[in-house]
A and B are shown apart, each in its own frame.
Chain A
Amino acid sequence: MRVAFVSLGVALTAGAAVAEERPRIVAVNYPLAFMAEALVGEAAEVVFPVPDGVDPSFWRPSIADISMMQSSDLILLSGAGFAAWIDRVSLPRSRLVDTSSDYFDRFIATGTITHSHGDGGEHSHEGTATYTWLDPELAMAQATAVAAAITARDLAPAADVGAALADLTAQLQALDEEAESALADAGETVFIATHPRYQYLARAYDLTVLSLEWEAGAMPNAAELSALEAMVADQGADVLIWEATPPDAALEAVASLGLASVTFPPLAMPPQSGGFAEAFAASVSALAEAVPDGSTN
């Protein structure tokens, strides 16, 4: 019995040592964490440091979070201005990788708005749309950049990463093809999004997506609903895209304006169920089903 106990202790100690020896990769949003995990498997620890329920676009890291990142082996940035906090800290440049560096020329310029979300502080939607991964083609390019960063630093066996990248690329390619097919007839539909998140999705699938500035998942106030009503009248919109599921009263208010509602989590943070691919596919399917005149296929 004592031997077994000692053996277990040795095993646990060895396990802990192995765990501690694994390289650490930090991802600034969920899509990057998803990609990194798919690419490294158990060879490295992938950390998405943003707490549950906190939008990484507005996250403010703690000192401990930054200390953790400073001792990490790789820090994956999303580029396009995502995660403004990276300009407020010192991080080791040799371990920082901008995974969007191969598609700067495909960024989408946006208007400029500065506002606040609760206690999240003032922030701006200016310069560049940031949710690039909603275009699977860009997500594929990002996955390739993540794989290159991992292998360049020898954080996982190159052959394993290469094989995993092939699988991941095939998965994203399938998502792209499914979305292309599902949304093929949505070009005449006018969508309104409750927040400007879907620029890359719109460009990828030739969608018309107008945007509001509503709080995610919150009940819109009277002024916001009035502005929406005016927009519907002016633009002839058919579908409202919510980034998070709102209260039933909000859905009813929107329905009274003649709009169908679709919740499409933009996936900067983990979905409530499933992974990136499942959540994206489900959202695209819901979007396609909401297009007037029934199925698009």
Chain B
Amino acid sequence: MIRCLAVAVVACALGGPAAAHKLVVFASTDCEMVLVEAKFSNGNAAQQGEVRVLDGQNTVLTTLALETGGTAQIALDKVDHSEGLVIEVDTGGHDNYWILTPEDIARNCGS
């Protein structure tokens, strides 16, 4: 039925090892702190990187550095989280984000 299928991908120079290691960012909150975790898709923790915390208008509220183990913590009372938070992590070569809605935050505050 299939006589011929040839799907060639050009510009392979853009591929390679870097493409195999996407950054995965996850953020959770316990009502007091936001815990950020940044790992590569191969399971290795990001060793360094900048964490940017943005509000619902995409305004940067604060920045901080990733700690050992690819984590960071942000005290909720230090940022205006009423419209939720976007957590961006940039390791220089890779970046990604996690979105915390107001409902995500409230859910973990037992409200």
Contacts and interface: CB of A to CB of B under 8 A. Distances in A.
Interface stretch (A5-13, A119-127, A268-276): A119-127
B18 A114 contact: yes
A209 B77 CA distance: 55
Nearest to B28: A90
Interface residues of B, number: 37
A150 to B, nearest CB: 24
Interface in B1-34: 1-12, 14-15, 18-20, 22, 24-25
Interface in A177-211: 187, 196, 199, 202-203, 206-211
B10 A213 contact: yes
A110 interface: yes
Given A88-B96, A88-B98, A122-B94, A63 B86 contact: yes
Contact of A208 (B4, B86, B95, B100): B4
Interface in B74-90: 83-86
Nearest to B18: A114
A112 interface: yes
B69 interface: no
Classify chain A: how many residues form its interface, as a range. 35 or more
Given A67-B103, A88-B98, A122-B94, A111 B12 contact: yes
A95 interface: no
Contact of A111 (B9, B25, B104): B9
Main secondary structure of the interface of A (DSSP, over half): mixed
A210 B7 contact: yes
A206 to B, nearest CB: 4
A108 B7 contact: yes
A67 B102 contact: yes
B84 A63 contact: yes
B14 A203 contact: no
A89 B98 contact: yes
A210 B103 contact: no
Contacts of B15: 111-114
Q: Of residues B19, B97, B102, which shows the largest number of chain A Cβ atoms within 10 Å of its Cβ? A: B19
11 contacts: A63-B83, A63-B85, A67-B101, A70-B104, A88-B99, A108-B7, A113-B9, A124-B19, A196-B9, A199-B7, A213-B10
Interface of A: 60-64, 66-67, 70-71, 87-90, 108, 110-115, 121-122, 124-126, 129, 187, 196, 199, 202-203, 206-213, 227, 231
Given A70-B104, A206-B3, A213-B14, 16 more contacts: A60-B97, A63-B86, A63-B101, A63-B102, A64-B56, A70-B103, A88-B96, A111-B15, A113-B15, A113-B19, A114-B14, A114-B19, A115-B14, A187-B3, A211-B10, A213-B11
